[in-house]
Amino acid sequence: MTRLSSAVPAVPLGLLQALCVAAPFCWAGSPTLPPCAPHYEIRSGQSPDGTGVFFLGREIAHVMTHAGADWLERPERAAEERPDQLVPALKLQPGHQVADVGAGTGYFSWRLADAVTSQGRVYAVEVQTQMLHRLRRNMTARGLTNVVPILGTPTDPRLPADTMDCILMVDVYHEFARPCEMLHALWLALKPSGRLVFVEYRGEDPAIPIKPLHKMTERQIRREASLHALEWVETVATLPRQHVVVFRKQAPGISAAPGTSPAYTPPARNSRPD
Ligand SMILES: C[S@@+](CC[C@H](N)C(=O)[O-])C[C@H]1O[C@@H](n2cnc3c(N)ncnc32)[C@H](O)[C@@H]1O
């Protein structure tokens, strides 16, 4: 077992920290990276679907390449995932600034753009340029002008700071190469009390026909989020295959230790409700 700390450099936040020290109101911009490195491990004997890098005991999945883009737009997806129920659960309003992180071909970006109307904006973040090309085409075909494509990196979504009312991550968090650094960068992009939303296939349910590393349990999501100043708000459990786990940005310094997210009891709902 090898720690990742020496293999991957820390995110350079020194400049931001210096700016924050100088600023009069800085809780939202107090960018102290939590101690990420000790929680990464490299292990042998990993799953073929995994990278061999483990974060808080969970093996990180390989990124889905753009060769799988058609799968994201499969016709049966609407029945399997019910985006018509997911988007209302986000409680977006006209004028909201939202991010669709790991946007893929924009399956959710255009739905979010409709929800926030032309008064609002959707930042569609991707690490694959091929996905962004396809996303741009899809948004143009729909005549949308309020979707901003952004080419991010595995540690930096390149979002404006303190701006987002809501950040959505559908079926992507489990494949973030650097989940801890990404969550920190997303935390910086949220407005005070802005919401960070994980949508993952339910790892508690073996009947859901998705590879294990591409699912996550609510317990693990909350464990990983607990490294950051994020308060759990609710878990929406009404979708056929996924859970929607919602957090709110808090002032820094009050996150729980990993695995000790307060008052968490695993729910008794391990089977598909549909
Ligand atoms: C399984 S796809 C889901 C796409 C979209 N959310 C959807 O539900 O249709 C995951 C996408 O996340 C992207 N991705 C992976 N890591 C990322 C990161 N750190 N930042 C932004 N995008 C990322 C991948 O390139 C891939 O297109």
- Residue-wise pLDDT for 174-189, tens only, equals 999 999 999 999 999 9
Judge whether 48 lies within some domain: no
Any ligand 1 atom below 6 A from CB of 200? no
Ligand 1 atom showing the smallest separation from residue 169 Cα: 6
Any ligand 1 atom below 6 A from CB of 126? yes
Judge whether 78 lies within some domain: yes
Ligand 1 atom showing the smallest separation from residue 170 Cα: 6
> Residue 212: is its pLDDT beyond 60?
yes
Structure confidence at residue 138 (pLDDT): 98
Judge whether 206 lies within some domain: yes
Q: Which amino acid is at 141?
A: A
Judge whether 15 lies within some domain: no
Any ligand 1 atom below 6 A from CB of 154? yes
Sign of torsion, CA 89 193 19 37?
negative
Ligand 1 atom showing the smallest separation from residue 107 Cα: 9
Entry field: residues in the chain: 274
Reduced to 3 states (helix: H, G, I; strand: E, B; else coil), residue 221 is: helix
Cα separation of 227 and 248, whole Å? 13
Q: Which residues contact 57 (CB under 8 A, 6 or more apart)?
A: 220
Full domain range(s) for residue 179: 63-249
> Residue 8: is its pLDDT beyond 60?
no
The helix/strand count (H/E) of the chain reads as 8, 12
What's the distance, Cα to Cα, between the start and end of the chain in Å?
A: 41
Sign of torsion, CA 267 259 57 184?
positive
Structure confidence at residue 24 (pLDDT): 29
**What CATH number does residue 100 fall under?**
3.40.50.150
Judge whether 265 lies within some domain: no
Judge whether 50 lies within some domain: no
The residues facing 247 across adjacent strands are 196, 232
CA–centroid distance, 42 to ligand 1, in Å, is 22
Structure confidence at residue 13 (pLDDT): 31
Judge whether 52 lies within some domain: no
Cα separation of 212 and 216, whole Å? 8
Any ligand 1 atom below 6 A from CB of 125? yes
Query: Tokens standing for 89?
Result: 């659960």
Pick the range with the lowest mean pLDDT from 7-16, 36-45, 130-139, 151-160.
7-16
Q: Kindly state the percentage of the chain with pLDDT values over 70.
A: 81
Q: Can you give the pTM of this predicted structure? A: 0.85
Comparing 60 with 45, which gets the higher pLDDT?
60
DSSP state of 73: T
Structure confidence at residue 33 (pLDDT): 87
Mean pLDDT, residues 241-245 taken together: 98
Count of domains for the chain? 1
| Residue found under tokens 């990196």 | 153
Judge whether 239 lies within some domain: yes
